Amino acid sequence: MIRGLCRPALLLLLAQPVAALTLDLPAGATRALESTEPLASHVLATGPWTEGVLPSRPVEGAVTREVWQVEGEGRTTLELLAPLREQVAAQGYEVLLDCEAEACGGFDFRAAVEVLPPPAMFADLADFRYLSAVAGNEALSLLVSRSDQRGFVQLIRVTPAEAGALPLAPAVQPGDAAPSDGFAARIEGQGRVVLEGLAFATGSAQLAPGGDAALAALAAYLAGNPARRVALVGHTDAQGPLDANIALSKRRAQAVAERLVAAHGVSRPQLQAEGMGWLAPRATNLTPEGREANRRVEAVVLP
């Protein structure tokens, strides 16, 4: 649905016969990512990160995730969010949390909330805004940020699941059959999977909270395949000397291995930690969002 020649709108049809939410974005916005799950979960932040805890509310239903990019310099994150906030309120949503960068909790908050993968989405640790809201049995979160060249708008919406939607997959226990879902197919078909959602402070190997979905999927895969081993491979952007970045990326991979063992019960012999530094980028290092995409840890399946 488009209002005007170049004002795209987000139109999400609900599973129940109620009005659809329509959000008008700035002129020139283009959609960079879209995915829908008929039954999934999303965690709404309901307060800023405080003393190591993120106040939150988990919600389940049909989950739609979208990222829109707005070309052009000079537009602030408030200019991106304010019109969307007004539209959300006007359509009957109650705002749970509306915060900016440091007031949200800065790096810890950004690492704890769901951020869709780069380069579609980019979230500057010092320049982002977050909003969560609910209306009856529906919920949404908005995350906006910007780079030097463009703005980014992430919308995650949870609506009632359709009748007959498949239930959420149960956790896989040691000894269970290997999962046949998307994670197993990707890691065995492509040989590697990027563990999205992991975050590290600049120049640090300390793994922040977050990325639980990716780690849980990897842990479930390894639990169902006790003879399988994976290499956790750290990658950095191209800032700084290669030797230092290789060492840093390996320490980050080791931190992920420790989290998998301590929090997800993975057998340590199934894991190997390595570092590539900036030798294997998946995006350009000439833009902030490209460098963000390159800072990652991948799981590489071993024979």
**DSSP codes, 71-88:** E-SS--HHHHHHHHHHHH
My answer on whether 112 and 186 are in the same domain is no
My answer on whether 31 and 94 are in the same domain is yes
Instruction: Report how far residue 148's alpha carbon sits from residue 158's, in angstroms, rounded to the nearest whole number.
Output: 31
CA atoms within 13 Å, Cβ hemisphere of 284:
5
Q: What angle do CA 257, 260, 33 make, to 5 degrees?
A: 95
Residue 253 located in a structural domain: yes
Residue 222 located in a structural domain: yes
My answer on whether 146 and 258 are in the same domain is no
My answer on whether 241 and 148 are in the same domain is no
My answer on whether 25 and 134 are in the same domain is yes
CA-to-CA dists, residue 95 to 18, 50, 198, angstroms: 20, 19, 27
Per the structure, the complete domain to which residue 249 belongs is given by: 182-302
- In order along its 303 residues, the chain shows pLDDT tens digits of 333 334 454 544 333 434 567 889 888 899 999 999 898 888 899 999 988 788 999 999 999 999 999 988 778 999 999 999 999 999 999 999 999 999 999 888 888 888 888 889 999 888 999 999 999 889 999 999 999 889 999 999 999 987 666 555 444 344 343 433 568 888 988 899 999 888 887 788 988 877 778 898 899 999 999 999 999 999 999 999 999 999 999 999 999 999 999 999 999 999 999 999 999 998 899 988 888 889 999 999 998
My answer on whether 219 and 91 are in the same domain is no
Do 153 and 68 meet the contact criterion of CB atoms below 8 Å apart? yes
My answer on whether 57 and 16 are in the same domain is yes
The domain tally of the chain equals 2
Q: What is the pLDDT of residue 34?
A: 93
Residue 282 sits in a domain whose CATH number is 3.30.1330.60
Q: What is the pLDDT of residue 167?
A: 53
Residue 166 located in a structural domain: no
Residue 170 located in a structural domain: no
Residue 246 located in a structural domain: yes
Residue 53 located in a structural domain: yes
The 3-state DSSP class for residue 261 equals helix
Residue 168 located in a structural domain: no
What is the DSSP secondary-structure string of 174-224? Answer: TTSPPP-SHHHHHHHHHSEEE-TT--B-TT--PBPS--HHHHHHHHHHHHH
Find, among 143, 167, 130, the residue nearest to 41 by Cα: 167
Q: What is the pLDDT of residue 7?
A: 46
Residue 169 located in a structural domain: no
**Where is the domain boundary, 159, 191, 211?**
159
My answer on whether 21 and 139 are in the same domain is yes
Does the pTM exceed 0.75? no
